[in-house]
Amino acid sequence: MTQRGIFRRLFSLLLLAWALGFIWFAIYLPRPATEPVRTDGIVALTGGGGRIPHALRLLERRTAKRLLVSGVDREVRPREFAVEYKVKPALMACCITLGYDAVDTRSNALETARWIADNKLKSVRVVTTDWHMRRAIFDIAEEAPEGTVIVQDAVVSRPSFRILFLEYNKLVARLLAWAIGW
């Protein structure tokens, strides 16, 4: 077999693996957590509809003592957040941290890891959209203090093909970067 033939077969194999991986990714999106689940903290990643309201409902039901909302726009003040989401002042003061440092999934993970360590949490529930969960969990698990229990709680959505395609490729790129130590 020629070098060109080997290259074609290898390329075809990689393309097939990518396509099968995409099909798996799109069909088997992560699901909401099976209740009842109690954790020390909840982390809601901004950027998708339903994430923050779901996390706030969980906090109000006392499934955790603390909530980090990671990736909040620097212009948003706690009072504005409380008004927008109808959060009682006492709950806002005691239990909710607005994280302003994250701008993407990797920095969400760094912000989350610092919050977990600062609050000495042993377990967290991560709330993000179903299509975003795998990459978010991968990055958070990489950065979180060793031994932290991480519970996935996906917000169900109806993602477009475009969103699935982009997110799958971001996940593949992230896994490849991790594999080569980048």
Report pLDDT digits (tens) over 50-106: 999 999 999 999 999 999 999 999 999 999 999 999 999 999 999 999 999 999 999
* Residue 20 to residue 14: CA distance in whole angstroms: 10
Model confidence over 25-43: pLDDT tens digits? 999 999 999 988 999 999 9
CATH number, domain containing residue 139: 3.40.50
Range of the domain at 46: 41-179
The structure's pTM equals 0.91
Provide the Cα torsion 137, 142, 148, 153; round to 10°: 0
Q: Where are the alpha helices (DSSP H) in 37-157?
A: 51-60, 78-85, 89-95, 105-118, 133-143
* Average pLDDT, integer, range 21-28: 96
85 occurs within a structural domain: yes
- Is 53 within a domain? yes
Q: Is residue 7 part of a domain?
A: no
Cα-flanking dihedrals φ and ψ of residue 66, to 5°?
-140, 155
Would you say residue 32 lies in a domain? Answer: no
* Per-residue pLDDT reduced to its tens digit, 155-164: 999 999 999 9
Q: Total domain count for the chain?
A: 1
How far, in Å, CA of 93 to CA of 54, rounded?
19
